[in-house]
């Protein structure tokens, strides 16, 4: 297992290989499709520093407000493919080093991960309680009023956040490999009959 | 109908659905764990999922942050007002958002605005049906977005999957759906399938199949055989938990059929994630007769 601190240097990014299990420490920033669209279309400058070598988390948490503190009550990953149309551009414009999500992403993102040196970390879908316990602090929140709490930009400080690298910066995707491998098995299961 | 009590009962129903996975589902995940190699990624993933299930129950918090579309199935005796029940469900959803059992999950599709604790057209989904029994029965499923997105429908014949208008064609479609879904529906998943019907009734019936307990045996022997076949074959695909690889791709397959007209032959597949959140209750004389699942 690899232990990594976020922000992640590009030097560390290229050492990661598809299949590595990683525990992340440090800052991760939630962003779903609405935020990605906003980052690309409105080009806000104030997030450049936050996202440089940073980690984006595809997540819409359940949050609670206790006094002046925000508490993350549930925070598993959401489907990453929704961010596919914007991710290559976000990697380019903001210099992001890592994406955490679920389900993997497409070819355009895979190419961009290679070009801009970044990796895709897969978290376990539905793991909202285990992952919420990894959040030690909510550092900040942006666009809360505009987008609502599930779609806002939450800046989270995490410890031992468990993920697996499924797409690396060398063009490898476990998702692609699995699709092909299971496709071959499927073909062997449907040899009889047919049209 | 005692209005205060049924409101509390609805809130409790939502709490249980969101935070406490039914025992048949937990058992199926535990059985899946036994089939996976120790220290494999599939084994670790299922262990982590079981830990998450336990934590959610202890904390009475959502096991998944996507608390989904609440889909209600309400059976009621003559004389009960649907309008009344709808109002109670809306109130219960509002309260459940404030108690953190539900995420404020509703968005106006045209404006993109999150509507917070409100309900509106399409959210929640409520299916009403009058019946001859003298009590109300409410079943609730929380249907997450990730798995809803990988659901699919085939119109046979379908040359893409080389599927004709027979049970072998149906089998091909269902296995194709599992392959296309990969881990994106948060596998290990459960399939609700309907053969026949029209586009809408077919999808509706496929979702309704998910109300059956996992250990429920299909009364129709043809469908029972098909369920077992698909279950066995899908778990040979090697997709495993989250698509990381492994033997546990599906936890169950439930298939129903509807009559159809000759021109149409639909196969509708609803995919349910491992967080197969369903709960229910029976209600009579102002109190809960029993909790279901």
Q: What is the ipTM of this complex?
A: 0.94
Query: Into how many domains does chain A fold?
Result: 1
In a domain, A90, yes or no: yes
Q: Is the pLDDT of residue B1 over 80?
A: no
In a domain, A92, yes or no: yes
Low-confidence ranges of chain A (pLDDT < 70): 192-195
pLDDT for residue A194: 61
Per-residue pLDDT tens for B261-276?
A: 999 999 999 999 999 9
Q: Give the separation between CA B152 and CA A60, rounded to whole angstroms.
A: 25
Question: Which stretches does DSSP call E strand in chain B?
Answer: 69-76, 125-130, 136-143, 152-155, 189-195, 250-257, 266-272, 277-284, 287-292
pLDDT for residue A193: 62
Q: What is the CATH number of the domain that holds A113?
A: 3.20.130.10
In a domain, A194, yes or no: no
In a domain, A195, yes or no: no
CB contact under 8 A, B242 and A150: no
pLDDT band at B141 (very low <50, low <70, confident <90, very high): very high
Domain around A175:
2-188
Task: Tell me what the pLDDT averaged over chain B comes to.
Answer: 96
Question: Which stretches does DSSP call E strand in A92-170?
Answer: 98-101, 119-122, 135-142, 153-167
**B107 contacts in A (CB within 8 Å)?**
148
Nearest CA among B180, B193, B190 for reference residue B239: B180
Taking CA atoms, what residue in A is nearest to B144?
A126
Q: Is the pLDDT of residue B281 over 70?
A: yes
Q: For residues A192 and B169, which has the higher predicted lDDT (pLDDT)?
A: B169
Candidates B14, B65, B179, B276: best to mutate against A (most CBs of A within 10 A) is B65
**A183 contacts in B (CB within 8 Å)?**
179
Q: Is the pLDDT of residue B4 over 90?
A: no
CB contact under 8 A, A74 and B168: no
CB contact under 8 A, B183 and A125: yes
CB atoms within 10 A of CB B239: 30
Domain boundaries, chain B: 3-17+63-144+277-292, 146-272
Per-residue pLDDT tens for B98-135?
A: 999 999 989 999 998 888 888 989 999 999 999 999 99
For residues B27-46, average pLDDT: 97
Per-residue pLDDT tens for B203-258?
A: 999 999 999 999 999 999 999 999 999 999 999 999 999 999 999 999 999 999 99
Percent of chain B with pLDDT over 90: 95
Give the phi and the psi of residue B2 in degrees, each rounded to 5: -80, 110
In a domain, A16, yes or no: yes
Q: DSSP letter string over A98-114?
A: EEEEBS---HHHHHHHH
The distance in angstroms from the start CA to the end CA of chain A is 48
CB contact under 8 A, A179 and B182: yes
Per-residue pLDDT tens for B72-98?
A: 999 999 999 999 999 999 999 999 999
CB contact under 8 A, A128 and B182: no
CB contact under 8 A, A129 and B104: no
Kindly report the nearest CA distance between residue A160 and chain B, in angstroms: 14
In a domain, A70, yes or no: yes
Give the phi and the psi of residue B27 in degrees, each rounded to 5: -60, -45
Q: Is the pLDDT of residue B3 over 90?
A: no
**A76 contacts in B (CB within 8 Å)?**
64-66
Q: Give the separation between CA A186 and CA A175, rounded to whole angstroms.
A: 16
DSSP classification of residue B122: T
pLDDT for residue A74: 97
pTM for this structure? 0.95
pLDDT for residue B35: 97
Preceding amide of A7 cis, omega within 30 = yes
In a domain, A193, yes or no: no
């Amino acid at each position: 297992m690899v232990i990594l601190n976020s922000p992640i240097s590009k030097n560390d990014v290229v050492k990661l290989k598809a299949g590595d299990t990683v525990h992340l420490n440090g800052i991760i920033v939630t962003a779903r499709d609405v935020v990605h669209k906003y980052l690309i279309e409105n080009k806000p400058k104030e997030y450049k520093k936050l996202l440089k070598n940073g980690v984006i988390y595809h997540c819409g948490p359940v949050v609670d407000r206790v006094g002046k503190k925000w508490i993350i009550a549930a925070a598993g990953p959401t489907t990453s493919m929704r961010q596919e149309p914007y991710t290559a551009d976000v990697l380019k414009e903001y210099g992001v080093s890592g994406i955490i999500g679920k389900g993997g992403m497409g070819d355009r993102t895979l190419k961009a991960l290679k070009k801009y040196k970044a990796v895709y970390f897969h978290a376990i879908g539905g793991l909202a309680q285990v992952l919420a316990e990894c959040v030690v602090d909510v550092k900040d929140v942006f666009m809360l009023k505009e987008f609502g709490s599930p779609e806002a930009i939450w800046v989270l400080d995490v410890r031992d956040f468990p993920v697996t690298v499924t797409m690396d910066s060398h063009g490898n995707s476990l998702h692609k490999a699995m699709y092909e491998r299971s496709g071959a098995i499927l073909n062997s299961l449907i040899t009889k009959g047919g049209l | 109908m005692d209005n205060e009590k049924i409101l509390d009962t609805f809130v409790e129903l939502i709490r249980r659905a969101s935070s406490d996975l039914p025992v048949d589902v937990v058992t199926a995940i535990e059985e899946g764990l036994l089939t996976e190699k120790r220290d494999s990624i599939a084994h670790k993933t299922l262990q982590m999922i079981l830990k998450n299930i336990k934590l959610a129950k202890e904390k009475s918090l959502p096991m998944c942050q996507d608390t989904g579309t609440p889909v209600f199935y309400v059976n009621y005796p003559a004389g009960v007002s649907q309008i009344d029940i709808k109002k109670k469900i809306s109130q219960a959803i509002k309260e459940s958002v404030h108690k953190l059992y539900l995420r404020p999950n509703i968005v106006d599709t045209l404006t993109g605005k999150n509507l917070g604790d409100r309900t509106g057209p399409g959210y929640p989904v409520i299916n009403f049906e009058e019946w001859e029994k003298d009590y109300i029965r409410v079943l609730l499923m929380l249907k997450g977005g990730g798995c809803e997105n990988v659901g699919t429908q085939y119109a046979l014949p379908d040359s893409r999957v080389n599927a004709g208008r027979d049970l072998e064609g149906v089998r091909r479609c269902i296995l194709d759906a599992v392959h296309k879904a990969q881990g994106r529906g948060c596998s290990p998943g459960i399939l609700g399938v309907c053969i026949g019907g029209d586009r809408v009734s077919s999808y509706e019936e496929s979702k309704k199949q998910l109300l059956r307990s996992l250990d429920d045996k299909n009364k129709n022997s043809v469908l029972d055989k098909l369920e077992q076949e698909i279950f066995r074959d899908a778990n040979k695909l090697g997709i495993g938990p989250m698509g990381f690889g492994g033997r546990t791709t599906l936890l169950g397959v439930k298939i129903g059929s509807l009559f159809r007209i000759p021109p149409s032959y639909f196969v509708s597949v609803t995919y349910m994630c491992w967080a197969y959140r369903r709960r229910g209750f029976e209600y009579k004389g102002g109190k809960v007769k029993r909790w279901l699942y």
